[in-house]
Amino acid sequence: MSREERWLLHWSPRSPYVRKVMIAAHETGLEARIDRVRTVVGGTTPHLELMDDNPLGKLPTLILADGTAIYDSHVILEYFDSQHDGPRLIPTKGHDRILALRRHALGNGMLDILLQWLGERGRPAERQSPAHIALWKSKIDASVTALEGDAEGLDATPFGIGHIAIGTALGYLDFRFPEVTWRDDNERLVAWFDTFCARPSVKAHAPVDDS
Amino acid sequence: MSREERWLLHWSPRSPYVRKVMIAAHETGLEARIDRVRTVVGGTTPHLELMDDNPLGKLPTLILADGTAIYDSHVILEYFDSQHDGPRLIPTKGHDRILALRRHALGNGMLDILLQWLGERGRPAERQSPAHIALWKSKIDASVTALEGDAEGLDATPFGIGHIAIGTALGYLDFRFPEVTWRDDNERLVAWFDTFCARPSVKAHAPVDDS
């Protein structure tokens, strides 16, 4: 595959899954190959053009020059790692690989919960379920507590897919749920998140609510 | 790591993500190493003991002999592939790997939608959102249409993570949403699904609603 091949990315400045991909593209030196197409999903209207490429109708979806569609964000990061010669986003094998993927699953799972929560909050009040919101809140709290216990491990391992997912999830908490005061009693995690936020790749792709 | 080490799996006969793991364990010859622990999640009550191992409180979660927790189902399948010498569930590189992971993302994304839909259906009628249900139905329909176009590709590639996710998603449609008549006009996909359902690993782990 030619190094010059360009890719099209169904993109939004609001999507945390897109943010993961853009941070990864920046870290791996692949960002200049990506042409972003602003794609608006969310709410309850299907995006039929996007669904031609990805029937799940979700962001991000990456389109290669030959028309091949790649999704979800995890798979796009796998693809990026096959396209650059720098440090891997995903360790290639062993315990390091499984640990990085589990960290990714935790950060991404937090995002899945936060997106459900956001959708719930967008419903008419009489169709919201307080019991679901309480459950989701308890899972986010438990995840933050687990991450506080893993903060030194995050510091001690090379930056990669797990850090990207976890940092993006905490950033999305700040972006959409400022009322969740996750920093209280989690000073090691706060210190790690500060190092995450200081990375050029992270600063260059801050979430923007332009709706 | 010793070949004799045993693993504990937070398990349910109703969870399609657990089913993916059990089919994979069967296919790779690892099933005998797994001790299943029936774990009931769902509804809106947090499962605090499970959340000690996986703060997201989700099935499946695999616990190694040293206490290491592995999740989600995708990561567990990655781990399985590091623990057996047979044909890989996930091709190790190249286009084949990305295609298999994209198929997995599609099948798993269908499951994510179906689980949201199931949760919605379980709410009091006045808190349900018909607009969300219509959106999810449209995405499932689009996914089935895309899979009909990929049925010959599924037939032509070695059985693995993509087949497991897609077959499990279609099986879950039959299990929980028999009113979705996905077989109409999709005869190639039906033929592929019949071969999936005939596999011993799939037959041995049929979904059971024992609630």
Q: Tokens 């790690």: give the residue.
A: A192
**Positive or negative, the Cα torsion across A58, B24, B145, B132?**
negative
By mean pLDDT, which of B21-35, B116-130, B192-206 is the weakest? B116-130
Among the partner-chain residues A56, A70, A123, the one whose CB lies closest to the CB of B98 is: A70
Q: Please check whether residue A23 is in contact with residue A205, taking contact to mean a CB–CB distance below 8 angstroms.
A: yes
Quick check: helix, strand or coil at residue A62?
Answer: strand
- Type of residue at B101: L
Residue A2 has pLDDT above 60, yes or no: no
B97/A72 Cβ within 8 A: no
Percent of chain B at pLDDT above 90?
A: 95
In this prediction, residue A3 carries a pLDDT of 57
CA atoms of B134 and B125, how far apart (whole Å): 15
CA atoms of B33 and B29, how far apart (whole Å): 9
- pLDDT tens sequence across A148-166: 999 999 999 999 999 999 9
In this prediction, residue B101 carries a pLDDT of 98
Q: Report chain B's C-alpha Rg in angstroms.
A: 17
Pick from A72, A116, A126 the residue to mutate for testing the B interface (most B CBs within 10 Å).
A72
Q: Tokens 């590639």: give the residue.
A: B157
Band (B3; pLDDT cuts 50, 70, 90): low
A134/B105 Cβ within 8 A: no
Residue B174 has pLDDT above 70, yes or no: yes
Q: Could you tell me the residue ranges of all domains in chain B?
A: 7-81, 94-199
**CB proximity B204 to A under 8 Å:** no
The C-alpha torsion from B78 through B84 and B89 to B94, rounded to 10°, is 80
Pick from A54, A80, A88 the residue to mutate for testing the B interface (most B CBs within 10 Å).
A54
A126/B56 Cβ within 8 A: no
Residue A1 has pLDDT above 50, yes or no: no
B56/A143 Cβ within 8 A: yes
- pLDDT tens sequence across A190-200: 999 999 999 99
**CB proximity B44 to A under 8 Å:** yes
Of A150, A147, A209, nearest in space to A178 by CA: A209
Pick the CATH number of B94-199 from 1.10.260.40, 1.10.3720.10, 1.20.1050.10, 2.60.120.10: 1.20.1050.10
Q: Please check whether residue B151 is in contact with residue B132, taking contact to mean a CB–CB distance below 8 angstroms.
A: no
Q: Any idea which fold A7-81 has?
A: Glutaredoxin (3.40.30)
Q: Please check whether residue B30 is in contact with residue B1, taking contact to mean a CB–CB distance below 8 angstroms.
A: no
Which residues neighbour B181 within 8 Å (Cβ) at sequence distance 6 or greater?
Answer: none
**Rounded mean pLDDT, B104-109:** 98
**DSSP, residue by residue, B92-145:** SSHHHHHHHHHHHHHHHHHHHHHHHHHHHHTS-GGG--HHHHHHHHHHHHHHHH
CA atoms of B193 and B151, how far apart (whole Å): 9
ipTM over 0.85? The verdict is: yes
**Rounded mean pLDDT, B65-84:** 97
The distance of B81 to chain A (nearest Cα, Å) reads 10
